[in-house]
Amino acid sequence: MSDFATAEPTSTRFIHVQAQADHLESLARGKPVTALAELVWNALDADADRIRIGITDNDLGSPVAVEIADNGSGISLSDAERAFGNLGGSWKREQRLTQRAHKKMHGRDGKGRFKAFALGHRVEWDTVFLGENDEAQHYVIKGSSDRLQDFEIGSPSPPPNGRGRGTRVRITGIQESLSVLSRDGSAPRQLAEVFALYLRNYPATDIIYRGERLDPKAVQKAHETYVLPAFVTENGVSVSGELDIVEWTFSKKERRICMCDSDGFVLHEIEAGIRPGSEFNFTAYLRSDYVSKLQQQNVLSLEELEPGLRRLVEDARASLRSHFRRRKAESASELVKQWKQEGVYPFAGDATGPLEAARREVFDICALSIHQYLDSFREGPVKDRQFTLRMLKTALDENPESLKRILSEVLELPKERQNELADLLQYTTLSSIIEASKLVADRLHFLAGLQELLFREETKRDLRERSQLHRMLDNETWIFGEEYLLTSSDENLNTVLHKHLSTLRPELSRKKSKQKAVLRDDGTQAVIDLMLAREIPAYAQTQREFLVVELKRPSQKIDLDVQRQILGYAMAVASDERFDTQNTRWTFLAVSNEMTPDARRTISQDGKPYGFFHHEKNIRVGLATWGEVLNASRARLELFRTKLDYTATKDQGVALLHRKYAQYLPESLAPPESDR
């Protein structure tokens, strides 16, 4: 121990660490600022509220010595023997709060002291603590990087005059790669990043670096906190967490998610995994008790192997994307004002609800990117800007997925910028949200328009079932149940419906001419006459389920004759030899505007589902009014309608019918005044 020649042999003793030398060497390596932060955490765990980090430079401005001095409780002899003689099993595992101020403690693994050797070859812990009878005692602990398994502990003696409690860690034999600690190095910013949440929780704590107090707020541009969705893991563990996003005023290459316990102590770091744009410099702090549990189990770094951790990280990244989407939209606010003044902004007035706000947010983000990267857009004629922005809006309204092609192929946005936009809008993307919300809005519009078509006197009289109503419903089968949205036509079914149609339409059997097939717009065969039929795909290939709807004209009431006809037709079709009666299920419905009292009584029987007068294992036959069908469809959409805070008007419904099905509408259903 030639490095400690000044120590008296009779007044010192050595502690040997029970661990392999190569393992200790791995602990003694690491980034300089990380090592410095570990020593600061040790001081904070010792109840220090004032920590001074001093750096001694040589004539060339390079660091040659580092000292971390604190006013904490010091290191007692018993603590030193336990802390420096054992690796792991830190006393801090049992004591989670500091003794005096009852602050949450950071360390727990007993490895922090070895991080000091990542800064220099020789380390001294010069400490003063209160011994028996509250008498101050002073001694020094020494260590060297060439003998990591041995620490020298001096004998206690009264402290020098004016020396108070606390510990001074002095590091010499500095590594050559400590430019980060030089006067113009980035250490202050990195330390502010590490201790941002701690200093927010304990604002009376002072951490002083080279004479300047660390103040994370001074280098913060913004700080937002988001509550992450709670969930339960496969093992029944309840997981909740919060995400703090701190944006910095300084530039930083690394964008990280710091995995923290619920109090914000950083236990692990991972890549942020998103690209919000070069203008945003941030650190995200994921706080959760679940992170602490995984740290104690030594699996915190195994994100891919821990489904619960993977989901927690995915939720954090989704919140990051949402945050920066909003920040991007805010950045575009001044431009939006300019575009409104020029008359080129394609939206009028304020957003009327969440759906409209989301549409505008995506639009503003894309428009901002175009403005930042395309000189021709910024400096070109107003008319060109108006065309570009309207093209973007149309793509967003009609086909959100086409935005990527427009940005890349039409506007030639740089690949890097496309990647940033794609990253912000991936997974549960706003474009997908808009698409789903638009689907709900369109369905509400369709229901409003269909109601007007079916119940307005003049349209009810003029509406033709086969060539008009059937054609529209052929594309809106969800109206009879969400499971009927994903369907496919069946050639055998069409043939069988043809075969037995005379049961339902006796007058057809008297016709000598051969019945012609009904064709779809694309030329494929559809269901004959007034029948709407679909096959529902099942998980097992042998299972098939069919829905057959008899559409009566609005002016024809459903009576007992209709009931008998649909029952006879159902029995004949379901019993046809082409279908496996054991693995095929049938639902037959006759639908019109009204139903006679006698017919209604048949669909309200004990032991049978309401609406069905015949019900057995593989077949059910029922009657329904359009009012019941429309109300059931609205009920299924009510939750989404409430969340969207959206109400479809009659005019909006009629406008949608004219937009999608103008060729199938009677002339008596005129478009709304605004669409003419």
pLDDT of residue 22: 64
pLDDT attached to residue 453 = 85
Say if 457 falls within a structural domain: no
Q: What is the pLDDT of residue 522?
A: 40
User: Is 259 in contact with 291 (CB distance < 8 Å)?
Assistant: yes
Residue 425: which of 602, 593, 275, 581 has the closest Cα?
275
Tell me, yes or no, whether 49 lies in a domain.
yes
Looking at the structure, tell me whether residues 221 and 308 fall in a common domain. Answer: yes
**22 within domain boundaries:** yes
Residue 63 and residue 168 in one domain: yes
> Residue 512's pLDDT is what?
39
Same domain flag for 292 and 341: no
- Identify the domain boundary among 213, 234, 261: 213
DSSP secondary structure string for all residues of 389-406: HHHHHHHHHH-GGGHHHI
- Contacts for 629 with CB less than 8 Å, ≥ 6 apart: 479, 480, 591
Cite the beta strand spans of 249-368 per DSSP E.
256-260, 266-271, 282-287
> What Cα–Cα distance (Å) separates residue 648 from each residue in 213, 250, 446, 449, 653?
59, 49, 9, 9, 7
Tell whether 370 is covered by a domain: yes
By CB atoms closer than 10 A (0-12, 13-18, 19+), residue 162 is exposed
Residue numbers in the chain where pLDDT is lower than 50 = 1-10, 89-92, 427-429, 486-491, 508-530
Tokens of residue 111, six digits: 């490895």
How much is the pLDDT for 341? 85
- 183 shares a domain with 71: yes
Q: 3-state SS of 221-274? A: EEEEEEEEEEEECCCCCEEEEEEEEEEECCCCCCCEEEEECCCCCEEEEEECCC
Q: What confidence tens digit (pLDDT) does each residue in 255-268 have?
A: 889 999 888 888 88
Which of 328, 361, 384 is the C-terminal boundary of a domain?
A: 328
Asked if 277 and 295 count as a contact pair (C-beta separation under 8 A), the reply is: no
Let me know whether 336 and 318 are in one domain. no
pLDDT of residue 674: 56
Q: Is 625 left (phi over 0), alpha (psi -120 to 50) or beta?
A: beta
Task: Determine, yes or no, domain membership for 235.
Answer: yes
Same domain, 8 and 143: yes
Quote the pLDDT of residue 70. Answer: 94
Alpha-carbon distance of 370 to 378, in angstroms, equals 9
Q: Do residue 633 and residue 492 come from a single domain?
A: yes
Residue 494 sits in which domain range? 463-645
Rounded CA separation 618/587 (Å): 9
The answer as to whether 261 is a domain residue is yes
Q: Where are the beta strands (DSSP E) in 108-162?
A: 120-130, 136-144, 150-154
CA distances from 421 to 4, 190, 325, 414, 551 (A): 59, 28, 9, 11, 48
Is residue 204 domain-shared with residue 226, that is, in the same domain? Answer: no
Does residue 666 sit within a domain?
A: no
Would you give the DSSP letter of residue 516? P
In a shared domain, residues 534 and 482? yes
> Are 16 and 157 members of one domain?
yes
State residue 483's pLDDT score: 59
Q: Are 301 and 269 part of one and the same domain?
A: yes
Q: Indicate if 366 and 493 belong to the same structural domain.
A: no
Q: Domain of 50: which CATH number?
A: 3.30.565.10
| Residues with Cβ within 8 Å of residue 416, at least 6 apart in sequence | none
**pTM surpassing 0.75?**
no
What per-residue confidence (pLDDT) applies to 404?
Answer: 60
Contact (Cβ atoms closer than 8 angstroms) between residue 320 and residue 284: yes
The CA-atom distances, in angstroms, between 503 and each of 306, 467, 566, 619 are 61, 22, 8, 17
pLDDT in the model for residue 612: 92
Residue given tokens 């808009």 in the structure block: 434
Task: With beta carbons less than 8 A apart as the criterion, state whether 330 and 290 touch.
Answer: no
Residue 612, in any domain of the structure = yes
The total number of structural domains that make up the chain: 4
Domain boundary, last residue among 268, 299, 328: 328
